[in-house]
Structures are given as C-alpha cells and as structure tokens.
Chain A
Amino acid sequence: MGAPVDSAAPPVIEVEDLVTHYGTRRILDGVSLNVREGEVLVIMGGSGSGKSTLLRYLLALERPTSGHVRILGTDVNRASAAELTELRKRIGVAFQGGALFSSMTVGENIMLPLREHTTLDAKTMQIMARLKLEVVDLAGFEHLMPAELSGGMIKRAALARAVVMDPKLLFCDEPSAGLDPVVAAALDQLILRLRDALGMTVVVVTHELDSAFKIANRIVVLDGGRILTEGTVDEVRASPNERVQNLLNRKLEAAELDPDAYLQRLTRDSARP
C-alpha cells in the first residue's frame, strides 16, 4: 500500500555497517540500510533489539564505534557543528514521550524551532504554529501547558512541533505506544496524512505490529543489534525466517535448555562482574 516509491532516487538516509557500543556491550552490530525519498520506513523489533539505539545514531545524538550515517547527503559524524545545525533544520523528530518543554505552552513549544531558526515576526510564527495545530487536530489548545494534555494529545503536539519547519525527513519514535487502539490508529493516519501533505520521508521506530503494517512502505526488522530481514510489508509477512515469524506471531523464543549453563548462572559468584 502507500504511494509508489521511486527506487532510482538517491537515498535520503544511508547507513553503512554501523557498529555501536554501550560501555563494553555491543548494541548494534553491522547495521546497513537505505531509506528512499518519499517512503515510510518502519524499523521494527522487540525490546532490546537495538531499534531505539539505531534512532539515536540516525539523529547523531551519539557517536558510533565504526560505520557511517549519511542523512540528506551529510555524513553526520564528520559534519561540523554548523553543518549539523543546518541539517537538523531539515529534519523533524517526534519523541516517544513527546519531549515537549514542560515550562512552555503548547503553542510556544511548536513555535520554538521557528523562533530559533527564522527571522519571521511573531504574528507569522503564530499563524504557522496554528496551521500545524490544525493539521494535528489540536486547534485551540495552544495556550495549555504540556502537563494539561492527554497522552495522545502530547504525541500529536510533538508531531506538530516536528513538522513546523516543513522538514524533508520525519522521525517518529514509538508513535502509538501507550495509546489505546483507536487513538493509535488515528495517529498512524495522521502520520500518513502529514507525509502526503508535506512530501516527507518518514522513519518510524515501533514495536507495534498493527501500526507497522498499516503505515509502512518498507519494514526493517532488527533483532539483537542486527537486521533480521528487510522488505515490503508482504515480503516481511512471508519471511521464512523463524525469528521473524516468532515476532509476528508474538511467540516466545524457545527457552534455552542447557542444564549446565543454568546451574552455572545460579551458582556463579555475583559479587564480581
């Protein structure tokens, strides 16, 4: 489903052999992927699969051990601070918890990128912020504080803030997590509507299967820091890979049955790492 994607266009995001560590623990282990212009790519995986970590590296919030991340043609780990700032004006991010600034009203939150990056006058900024609030169905809520909003409203306000600069690229972290199914479905629809209206490329990180299947042009399934499979919705559904099928059917991984290892874990001296 979704709009046809021009596969000849240069990729908007290129990730090449990304390896990352948290302390000494390896989190991502050679992840490579491309995101093409205009598509909705869903990065899917269970808890601890590395999908949230991958997002942090795509956003250049952390430095990888090795590998490259190129966003809109800029290598984010080689870019100067000024180049990175320029790049970031062209991307929008909706965080899982919204990450609205709790000391500002909803309207001020949405206007903040405009205030910091443009020379527009206050009235114009207000109009632009209201436009985006209309799109996410939050018209009239601009004077409320984030603490006065419900979970779904916070996520919609965060989306409005993410797209207020009309970005080329939108990242959404768990857009439907923690919402009831109806609100979650509405949010999925909203992401698609925004994509069509603004001509954005969208990357969604989620563990929600329904949501992933509904909005994705392409799905990347992460597991244990590696890409398990990658393809269209139908391809992923039809994947012969057992772990993919387990994930899709919400089946538990077969428990490890090694009595020696089990005994050793129980008796090992835990005082020393």
Chain B
Amino acid sequence: MAAESEATGGAPFLDGVAARLERIGRTVASGVAECGFAAALFAESLYWLLMGRRRRQPVRVPTVFEEMMQVGVRAVPIVTVLSFTVGVMLAIQGIYTLRLFGAESRVTIGIALSVTREFAPLITGILVAGRSGSALAARLGTMSISQEIDALRVMGINPVRFLVAPSLVAMVVMVPALTFWSDLVALAGAGLYVSLDLGITLTAYGERLLEVVKVDDLMHGLGKSVIFAALIALVGVVNGAGVTGGAEGVGRATTRSVVQAITAIVITDMLFVFVVTRG
C-alpha cells in the first residue's frame, strides 16, 4: 500500500489525500481482520467444547467454574446495586411522565417491559464488559507479552482450548444469569418506589407484573444477553491476543476492549430489537 501513495507523485495535496485514504483503508482492513479472528476463535472454541473430550484434550470443568465465579458470582453485589438503582430511577421517571396524562397508575407496564426487554440486559452487559471483558484482555495481553501463550503452545496445549473456551462458556452462562437477577432486583426496586409514591401494595404491583410480563419479554432480554456475553468474551480475547508493546500495550488493549465491547453491545442491541420486534 505504501507503493500506491508513491504513485501520486509530488503534489502535497494529493499526497495528503492519498495518505488519509491509505489510513482509512488500513483501519478498515484491520477491523475486518479482527472480526475474522473473533469468528475463528468462536468456531475453534466450539470445536474444543464439542470435540475436546474425544481428542483427549477436554476443556477443564474446574477452570470453567473458576471463571464463572469470577465473571458471575463476584459481580452479583454490583449488579444488585445498579439494578436496584435503575429500577427506582425508572419508577420515578415513569410516574413523572405518566402524570402528564394523569395515567400514573399504568406505570407498572412501562417499568416491567423496559426492565426485562432493555435495561437489565444492557446494564448487565455493560457492567460485565467493564469488569470481566477488560480483565480478560489484560490477562491475555500480559500472558502474551511474557511468552506464556508461546509456552502453552510449545507444551502442546492449545491456548484457545485452555484460555478462551472456558472464558467464553463462563460468560455465556453467567451473563444471562446475572441479567435474570438484574430483572428481579430492578423490578423489586421499582415496586418499592411505586408502592411508596402511588400507594399501591406490593402484592398488587406483583400481580400486575405477572399480568403484563410475557415469557417472550423475558426471553427477549435473556436472548440478547447471550449474544452480549459472546461479544464481550471475543472482544476481550481479540484485544488481549493482539497486544504488542509491553505494559503500555496491555493498558491500551484493556481500554480498547471495554470501549469496543460496549459499542458492540449497544449496536447489537439496536439490531436485535429491530429484527425481533419488527419481524
């Protein structure tokens, strides 16, 4: 590509354009390459999960549990705090908005649907991206600059099987689980505020919830969260594996993985909603 910019000759303006085009081209090309790498990692992880035992190189269950502990169980307190807060916030906003029409008693349906379909998966996804996606990128980045990945390979231990597959499984199991927990806590938080503000009993609120929330709504949120989970894991691994340039590189990769994972989550969310809701 360097040769092409050479061809534009001496004109500085054209040079500038060419250089900019080249930069855009390179960025796009490396972006596509990263997506391809992520897809390959995903496929290889699936392969090891399905075939590992037959090839006598299984994905270790204790490692998966350890990851689940880290990704899921240790995230419960912070998910609880955030979900409760978001629930209360939604109740306040909902009541404020509906009061304009004098329809504040209908607030439950708004809360119920926005929590189960949108807020719980999104909040959980963003939280796990910041907490565990970044940790994954940092861990793999550190391992790759200290030759630990090379060491695994020369020992005949496939790094995808050993490192990527357990993290992927842990994410895909724990993020929906956390999302479900987030559903419960956010709805409880909202219910508490609603009952205080509007004087509805918690029992009535609960009954109303069971009336309006369909299994479809729950599945919509949980289904999305599975995709978010895979995205977080893959973005973390791709960024971690690509680390060059020592400790500073690890820091860059960590930041990049959080930003990319959150971006991917929000965009995927929109696409998912578009496809599922209109289809």
The interface of chain A, by Cβ under 8 A from chain B, is 56, 59, 61, 81-82, 84-89, 91, 93, 95-97, 99-103, 112-113, 116-117, 272-273
User: Which of B121-129, B145-153, B252-260 faces chain A?
Assistant: B145-153
Q: Return B165 CB to nearest CB of chain A, in Å.
A: 14
CB-CB under 8 A from B150, the residues of chain A are: 56, 59, 61, 95, 99
Please report whether the interface of chain B is mostly helix, strand, loop or mixed according to DSSP.
helix
Q: Can you name 16 A-B residue pairings with CB atoms under 8 Å? A: A56-B150, A59-B150, A61-B154, A84-B156, A85-B156, A88-B153, A93-B154, A93-B155, A96-B147, A97-B147, A99-B147, A99-B148, A101-B151, A102-B142, A102-B143, A113-B155
Given A82-B55, A116-B57, A97:B146 Cβ within 8 A: yes
Which residue of the partner chain, among B142, B146, B156, B162, contacts A88 with CB atoms under 8 Å?
A: B156
B32 within 8 A of A: no
Contact B154 A101 (CB under 8 A): no
A89 to B5 Cα, complex, angstroms: 48
List of B residues within 8 angstroms of A86 by Cβ: 156
CB of B2 within 8 A of chain A? yes
Given A82-B55, A99-B147, A273-B2, check contact A117 B153 (CB 8 Å): no
Binding site for A on B (CB under 8 A): 2, 5, 55, 57, 139, 142-143, 146-148, 150-151, 153-158, 162
> Within the assembled complex, what's the spacing in Å between the Cα atoms of A61 and B150?
7
B-side contacts of A85, CB under 8 Å: 57, 156, 158
- Report how far A117 CA is from B5 CA in the complex, Å: 52
Residue numbers in A under 8 Å from B57 (CB-CB): 85, 116
Answer whether A95 and B155 are a contact pair too, CB < 8 Å, given A102-B142, A116-B57. Answer: no
Closest to A158 in B: B151
Report the minimal beta-carbon distance from A122 to chain B, rounded to whole angstroms. Answer: 12
Query: Which residue of A has the minimal Cβ distance to B147?
Result: A99
| Interface pair A112/B147, CB less than 8 Å apart | no
B2: which A residues are within 8 A, CB to CB?
Answer: 273
Query: Which 9 pairs show the lowest CB-CB distances between chains A and B?
Result: A88-B156, A99-B151, A99-B147, A85-B156, A93-B154, A95-B147, A59-B154, A99-B148, A113-B155
In contact, A99 and B146 (Cβ under 8 angstroms): yes
Measured in the bound complex, the distance between the Cα atoms of B241 and A163 in whole Å is 27
Q: In the complex the two chains form, is B154's CB within 8 Å of A88's CB?
A: yes
Flag if A116 contacts B157 (CB, 8 Å). yes
Residues in A whose Cβ lies below 8 Å from that of B142: 102
Query: Are A112 and B157 neighbours in the complex by a CB distance under 8 Å?
Result: yes
Inter-chain contact B148/A101, CB cutoff 8 Å: yes
Is the Cβ of A93 less than 8 Å from the Cβ of B151? Answer: yes
A95 contacts across to B, CB distance below 8 A: 147, 150-151
